[in-house]
Amino acid sequence: MEENSRVIRSFKTQVGDWVFVIICVLISLMCILPMINLLARSLSGTDYLVRHEVYLWPKGWNIDAYKTVLTDMKYIRAFIWTVVLTIMCTLLSLVMTTICAYPLIFENLRGRGVINIVITITMFFSAGTIPNYLLMKSLNLLDNPLVLMVPYCLSVYNMIIMRSFFYGIPDSLRESAEIDGASYFRILISIYLPLSKPVLATLALFYAVGRWNGYSDALMYMKDKNYYPLQLLLYNILNNINSVEVATQEGFSAPGLKDSLKSAIVMFSTIPILCIYPSLQKYFIHGVTLGAVKE
């Protein structure tokens, strides 16, 4: 069928096909050119940057900016801390999401309706920024590294995605295990989790990206610079907060060098995610679609 229709496609249709291809190429360029410009800047010589001659290809090959980033303990430390934080948050969130979603698929569970309502309310009404801040204060979480992990470790939206996925697993599997005398905990571990790798991968990506990219919680709750995640550090650098530090302590007085340094730091904090997401494309597309089909 496909082959036949290709043969009889008229000239007009074929021209149309190519028009769409060209549109898509332009859209793709729009998405990646900024990144390429950034890469070019981070690898360019300072003279060329000062004279505004760098467009999409590095001029005067120069990797000093990367050398600086990779030898400065401030960045390395923030990078390692953010990696550790992201891994720990993702694991914690996956556990929390699973233990919240799994019991709720049992229709016979008494109190399930009430629990669903309690959870749904939090999706629509939040106390607000200041009450949350006062809560962190009263829990002694301000300036405590735990504040970057615990308060947002369970997203109701992600829990719903996981629950929808669990609903898709045939009841018969569960029932036959029940007949064999397996406990519900056992069924979760040996039937549901092994079958849920796609949704676990998707949610791991969502949580990890959220943590890696998030900075507002650190901005509000964390004063201790040692625990700044990479994005907050980057925000301060881009806005020249502590620019004196950047300029004098590291010997960056030339404006061009500062520019390439900023580009290198942005690259440095983006690359991990850009390397990971394409391989998970199949999964997250499925995850987004599951999130849309609610009960």
Partner 1 sequence: MARDKVVVKPPKHKIDRAYIKRYWQLYALLLIPMIYFFVFKYIPMQYVLIAFKKYSIVQKVWEMPWAKNHGMEYFIKAFSNRDFMNSLRNTIVLNLLDLVIGFPIPIIFALILNELRFKRFKKSVQTIAYMPHFLSWVIIYGLALQLFTPTDGLINMAITAFGGDPIPFLNDGKHWVGTYIGLGIWQSFGWNSIIYLAAIAGISPELYEAASVDGAGRFQKMWYVTLPGIKPTIVVLLIMALGNVIGSNFDRPFALQNNLVMEYAEVISTYVYKVGIKGLQFSLTTAVGLFQSVVNVFFLLGANWLSRRMGERGIW
Smallest CA-to-CA distance from 286 within 205, 209, 187 is with 205
Q: Which is nearer to partner 1, 67 or 137 (CB)?
A: 137
Instruction: Tell me the two tokens of residue 213.
Output: 């990219």
| Total residues binding partner 1 (CB under 8 A) | 91
In the list 3, 11, 31, 244, the residue contacting partner 1 (rule: CB under 8 A) is 31
Task: Mark the segment that binds partner 1 (CB under 8 A) among 58-66, 192-200, 216-224, 245-253.
Answer: 216-224
Residues 98 to 117 in contact with partner 1, rule: CB under 8 A: 99-100, 102-104, 106-110, 115
Q: Which is nearer to partner 1, 142 or 247 (CB)?
A: 142
CB of 14 to partner 1, least distance (A): 9
CB of 184 to partner 1, least distance (A): 5
Distance CA 164, CA 158 (A): 10
Smallest CA-to-CA distance from 228 within 55, 74, 94, 118 is with 74
First to last CA, the chain: 37
| CB 104 within 8 Å of CB 262 | no
Q: Does 88 bind partner 1 (CB under 8 A)?
A: no
In the list 71, 216, 226, 242, the residue contacting partner 1 (rule: CB under 8 A) is 216
Q: Which is nearer to partner 1, 107 or 180 (CB)?
A: 107
Q: Looking at this protein, which amino acid is placed at residue 146? A: L
Q: Does 190 bind partner 1 (CB under 8 A)?
A: no
- Sorted by sequence, the CB contacts under 8 Å of residue 211 that are 6+ apart come out as 85, 86, 89, 90, 148, 229
Q: Does 199 bind partner 1 (CB under 8 A)?
A: no
Q: How many residues does the chain have?
A: 295
Q: Which is nearer to partner 1, 106 or 248 (CB)?
A: 106
Q: Does 155 bind partner 1 (CB under 8 A)?
A: no
Instruction: Tell me the two tokens of residue 221.
Output: 């709750």
Residues 57 to 86 in contact with partner 1, rule: CB under 8 A: none
Place of tokens 């620019």: 243
In the list 72, 74, 88, 96, the residue contacting partner 1 (rule: CB under 8 A) is 96
Q: Does 8 bind partner 1 (CB under 8 A)?
A: no
Local structure of residue 142 (DSSP, 8 states):
T
Residues 244 to 283 in contact with partner 1, rule: CB under 8 A: 259, 262-263, 266, 269-270, 273-274, 277-278, 281
For 90, other C-beta atoms within 10 Å of its C-beta total 22
